[in-house]
Amino acid sequence: MMKRAEIKAALETLLFVWGEPLAAGDAGQVFDLSETETRELFLELKKEYDEAGRGIRIREIAGAFQYCTDPRNAEYVSRLCQPVKEQRLSQGALEVLAIIAYRQPVTRVEIESIRGIRCDRTIESLSRKQLIAEVGRGSGIGRPILYGTTRTFLEYLGLRDLSELPPLAETEDLLEPYAESYAEVGEAENLKNHFDNPSQE
Amino acid sequence: MAYKVKLDIFEGPLDLLVYLIERAEMNIYDIQVAVITDQYLEYLDEMCYQDLAPAADFMVMAATLIDIKSRMLLPRRATDDPEALTEDPRSELVDKILEYKKYKQAAELLEQQAETAGLVFTKAQEELADFEQEQEYLLRLKIDPLMMAFKAFLDRQRRRAEVQRRYSKMEDYRMTVRSRIHQLKNMLTGRRRVRFIELFVSRPDRYQVVLTFLSVLEMIRRKGIKVRQDVNFGEMTLTPTKALAGMQFDAESEFFNDEAG
């Protein structure tokens, strides 16, 4: 029976060799441990690294664990070498990606309806980058393709899972820029009510 | 009215509308449709004027705005029925605008998230081939796919070799505009008239022709030579000016990139 410390050390070796995100279940099979037990060990390790303030950390990403660097040292990396900068996504691509991320599964028509402009090329491009994928078919006419985000999407954003997506703005927040045009606070609510429930005038 | 410098930075008609409404500091629930429509149409005009060919969706929005504008001008239907609701013709559009804004903001959040994530590095998987015990895998291959794969490989190698041969040939001929001008200057100084065709020693390839032409243009601009062409597509005759002999062509000019392009 391996000691806890020995297993954790072995997990460190596995993380290093694997490089890519390693699922707790897969790692656990090496030691005949359950996914839950292995996950616990990984989380303990993660905590130890965080508390020690080391330059190498363990992150939970896309439901798996991975060695990664402390982003605060990124500046030193650039001084040492020229890391390849991934090409940033265009504004339009980000909008499509946001719609898919927050509303998945969603069809192309729904995406275009929100953006007000055609999106097929953007969707194709995001697909090629493996940030989105077909996740099923809608039940409506023509059985339209449904899109959702991928594991690569989570890795691209450094997220553990979709619940870590930053929350969407509420309508009240969106009205912020218009605040000055209201004579008094509260008029926004009145106007909104008036709008939602129009009556004869 | 000051236009945004690049009109094609709007992501679509809703993006443009949001910009116009915010710039006019209008209350989103009480949009002055007439004003916004006029401004929107002005932008479309400017786009067409700048040859930007706005996408069909911009036109659809223009039509929608005009439609709403006209409906706003009609008196609300007066009926005796106290239950009847008269819908504000703008409501559907306002909903669309707010919905779009929500995701536009979300897109910015995602961008920030991606930037932060970009500061984190990970390592690639180790080269594990030595540790894998799948050698039997090779023996299970059929002969045909193997032959096809090998043939495709040979084809690729052949094509690559051809391209490389041609590529290295091109490298030898890449003279710069600056050197060509010096050559021409030497060739022309002291002579009376030279035909363009005489500037080439042997049958020139396209690169050399373009290179020479650009050099000639630069020399004309600097008043080192004069050129005359009597007929369209006819012969061009170059005459050096008296100043040519003393001219220096080392000054910076937009032609002095390293290639003729």
Of B82, B120, B125, the CB nearest to A20: B125
Residue B189 has pLDDT above 50, yes or no: yes
Which pLDDT score, from 0 to 100, does residue B82 have? 58
- In chain A, what is the straight-line distance between the N-terminal and C-terminal CA atoms, in Å? 81
Among B38, B41, B28, B32, residue whose Cα is nearest residue B95: B28
Which pLDDT score, from 0 to 100, does residue B84 have? 54
- In chain B, what is the straight-line distance between the N-terminal and C-terminal CA atoms, in Å? 39
Look at strands B225-229 and B236-240 and give their pairing: antiparallel
Beta bridge partners of A132: A149
Which pLDDT score, from 0 to 100, does residue B169 have? 54
Which pLDDT score, from 0 to 100, does residue B107 have? 93
Greater confidence, B1 or B78? B78
- Give tens-digit pLDDT for B4-40: 545 557 888 999 999 899 888 888 888 888 999 999 9
Beta bridge partners of A58: A67
In angstroms, the CA B187 to CA B181 distance is: 10
Residue in chain B lying closest to A18 (CA): B125
Residue in chain A lying closest to B13 (CA): A116
- The DSSP symbol for B141 reads -
Residues of B in contact with A68 (CB under 8 A): 120-122
Mean pLDDT of chain B: 80
The CA distances from residue A171 to A146, B94, B109, B115, in Å, are: 26, 12, 16, 26
Which pLDDT score, from 0 to 100, does residue A199 have? 45
Helix (H, G, I), strand (E, B) or coil at B78: coil
Residue in chain B lying closest to A114 (CA): B100
Beta bridge partners of A22: A65
Q: Tokens for A49?
A: 């690294």
Which pLDDT score, from 0 to 100, does residue B23 have? 87
Question: Which residues, 6 or more positions from A129, have their beta carbon under 8 angstroms from its beta carbon?
Answer: A152
Nearest-Cα distance to chain A for B13, in Å, is 6
Among A138, A71, A79, residue whose Cα is nearest residue A108: A138
In angstroms, the CA B194 to CA B119 distance is: 62
Helix (H) or strand (E) holding B57: helix B56-73
The CA distances from residue A30 to A3, A14, A26, A67, A182, in Å, are: 15, 10, 7, 18, 64
Residue B120 has pLDDT above 60, yes or no: yes
Helix (H, G, I), strand (E, B) or coil at A57: strand
Of B96, B104, B123, the CB nearest to A95: B104
Which pLDDT score, from 0 to 100, does residue A45 have? 94
Residue B122 in contact with partner chain A when CB distance is under 8 A:
yes
Tell me the ipTM for this assembly. Answer: 0.76
Which pLDDT score, from 0 to 100, does residue A192 have? 55
Question: Which residues, 6 or more positions from A119, have their beta carbon under 8 angstroms from its beta carbon?
Answer: A96, A108, A111, A112
- Give tens-digit pLDDT for B201-243: 777 888 888 989 999 999 998 888 999 988 888 888 999 888 8
Which pLDDT score, from 0 to 100, does residue B137 have? 55
Q: Do B107 and A201 touch (CB under 8 A)?
A: no
Residues of chain A predicted below pLDDT 70: 1, 83-86, 171-201
Question: pTM of the full predicted structure?
Answer: 0.61
- Highest-scoring range by mean pLDDT, A167-171, B60-64, B194-198, B249-253: B60-64
- Per 3-state DSSP, what percentage of chain A is helix, strand, and coil (rounded to 5)? 55, 15, 30
Q: Are B229 and B213 in contact (CB under 8 A)?
A: no
Q: Tokens for A113?
A: 């309806």
- Helix B33-49 crosses helix B13-23 at what angle (to 10 degrees)? 120
Which pLDDT score, from 0 to 100, does residue B37 have? 93
Q: Are B219 and B248 in contact (CB under 8 A)?
A: no
Residues of B in contact with A193 (CB under 8 A): none
In angstroms, the CA A69 to CA A19 distance is: 12
In angstroms, the CA B186 to CA B242 distance is: 13
Which pLDDT score, from 0 to 100, does residue B134 have? 59
Which pLDDT score, from 0 to 100, does residue B118 have? 86
In angstroms, the CA B103 to CA A98 distance is: 6
B105-143: b (≥16 Cβ within 10 Å) or e: bbbebbbebbeebbbbeebeeeeeeeeeeeeeeeeeeee
- Give tens-digit pLDDT for B129-178: 776 665 555 556 677 777 888 888 888 888 888 777 776 554 555 678 88
